[in-house]
Amino acid sequence: MRIFPRSAFGQTVFLVGALLLINQIVSYISVTFYVVKPTIEQVNLMLAKQVKTVFIGNNDGVKMSAEISNKFFDATGVELMSEKQAQKRGLDMASEYPMLSRIMSEQLGGKARVRISQSDTLVYWVEPPQMPGHWVRVPLMGFKETNLEFLSFYLACIGVLSVLGGWLFATHLNRPLKELQQAAMKVAAGDFSSHVKEQGSTEVIEVTKAFNQMSRSIAALEEDRRLLMAGVSHDLRTPLTRIRLATEMMSQNEDYLRDGIIADIEDMNAIIDQFIEYLRHHKLADLEPDDLNALVGEVVSAELQHLRIITTDLNEGIPNVPLSHVAIKRVVTNMIENALRYSDGDIHVVTGIDKAKKYAYISVLDHGPGIPENELERVFQPFTQGDLARGSEGSGLGLAIIKRIVDMHNGKIVLKNRPEGGLEAKVSFLLKH
């Protein structure tokens, strides 16, 4: 179990709360030992002296006369009564305090018992060693037992208010960081339109300025790259089109040469299309709920033209998934075409939901040679191809394009060698964003 939180907000509140707790404990102990305890001991000493005055010149335990007792009560408010009388006056409602009893015993030179009751007035009940079975009733005016409770309440309120202040402070401190995090996530998804408001502490403002500058630079670089790719694509396609027209005018006895040139032109156009597709962004705002099984069925039907057996196992319980239909259709097509290109056996396509029901997935399984374990992550890099066993055709952008599209959908793609042989390509999508 982790006690110390990970977030800066949680850590700030935790540290403020911990420091306040230590401060409250130290304050409570200090007040208890240096204020409350000495006060109680002083009050107990004064009461012991008052009890002693009741028995001045009467150490044999004989009860004073009623006349003297009444005069003493009128002067001090202290009464001496039997236990039966004391019970009628509220002794049964009093609580016994062993610590006060011990201090009183030391002052009176014998075993004494102390009880305290609280009604309108705080009353001390003392059973003196000079006359066991009798109780001295000492009312204390202007002193209430709830004073200690008020101290505890005061310390608790200070602690709660301080933690609340720390929470507000941490919220104010971390709000710009939260906005910065959300903007960074948008930039990672290809949205460079976010501008973070420069607010907060000096350090946070400097970080925000640097982020905004970085975002603008990335946006400018992305725009330059798109213009460059569009220009290259246009400039390349124009001469390719002229070459294609020239080949159509070649004589019939040069058909073998013409077919080869046309094939090369189509390959070059396909490579240019891959470059453009790799640079294209699919924004999350463009996603709409779609039927994953229908999409897979559409792709599989189109791929049957290769005259290969493609079987499907579609889970009918999959809810609609937020996705870009055209982009994910390209992903599934690329996965199946890779399986067709690098294997000779049947292709199996599976859809389903993970055990936690957070992701829906599409898996394409083949019976080819697979990919070495140390290459499974590297093949997603642009212009990178797998082991020679998987062939060396294409530009090396197919899996890079798939990964980019899947990342734009906040999904994940995993390649895994199957124990029985072949490769499994699995793409997972969040059911809810």
CATH number at residue 238: 1.10.287.130
Higher pLDDT, 240 or 1: 240
User: Do 392 and 422 fall within a single domain?
Assistant: yes
24 pLDDT higher than 50: yes
**The pLDDT of residue 145:** 47
Q: What is the CA radius of gyration of the chain?
A: 44
User: Do 274 and 296 fall within a single domain?
Assistant: no
User: Do 334 and 369 fall within a single domain?
Assistant: yes
Give yes or no for a contact between 14 and 70, defined as CB atoms under 8 angstroms apart: no
User: Do 212 and 100 fall within a single domain?
Assistant: no
191 pLDDT higher than 90: no
The segment with the largest mean pLDDT, out of 128-137, 188-197, 383-392, is 128-137
Which of 247, 279, 311 is at the close of a domain?
Answer: 279
User: Do 347 and 405 fall within a single domain?
Assistant: yes
Query: Mean of the pLDDT values across residues 27-34?
Result: 75
User: Do 249 and 344 fall within a single domain?
Assistant: no
**The pLDDT of residue 58:** 55
Residue 67 structural domain: 8-150
Nearest to 292 by CA among 360, 349, 347, 364: 360
423 pLDDT higher than 50: yes
419 belongs to a structural domain: yes
12 pLDDT higher than 80: no
Look at the chain and report how many structural domains it folds into: 3
- The pLDDT tens digits of the residues spanning 80-90 come to 788 888 888 88
**The pLDDT of residue 286:** 64
Higher pLDDT, 142 or 33: 33
- The pLDDT tens digits of the residues spanning 306-350 come to 788 999 999 988 889 888 888 888 889 889 988 988 888 899 999
Higher pLDDT, 250 or 331: 331
**The pLDDT of residue 390:** 46
**With bands split at pLDDT 50, 70 and 90, how would you rate the model's confidence at 364?**
very high
**The pLDDT of residue 391:** 44
- The pLDDT tens digits of the residues spanning 367-407 come to 988 888 888 888 887 766 554 444 445 556 678 878 888 88
User: Do 271 and 323 fall within a single domain?
Assistant: no
Nearest to 276 by CA among 232, 330, 328, 235: 232
User: Do 144 and 13 fall within a single domain?
Assistant: yes
178 belongs to a structural domain: no
Which of 150, 171, 198 is at the close of a domain?
Answer: 150
298 pLDDT higher than 80: yes
**The pLDDT of residue 206:** 84
**With bands split at pLDDT 50, 70 and 90, how would you rate the model's confidence at 149?**
low
Q: The sheet that has 359-365: what strands, in order across it? A: 310-313, 347-353, 359-365, 423-430, 412-417
179 belongs to a structural domain: no
**The pLDDT of residue 297:** 92
300 belongs to a structural domain: yes
DSSP state of 133: T
33 pLDDT higher than 80: no
Burial of 65 from C-beta contacts in 10 A (0-12 / 13-18 / 19+): exposed
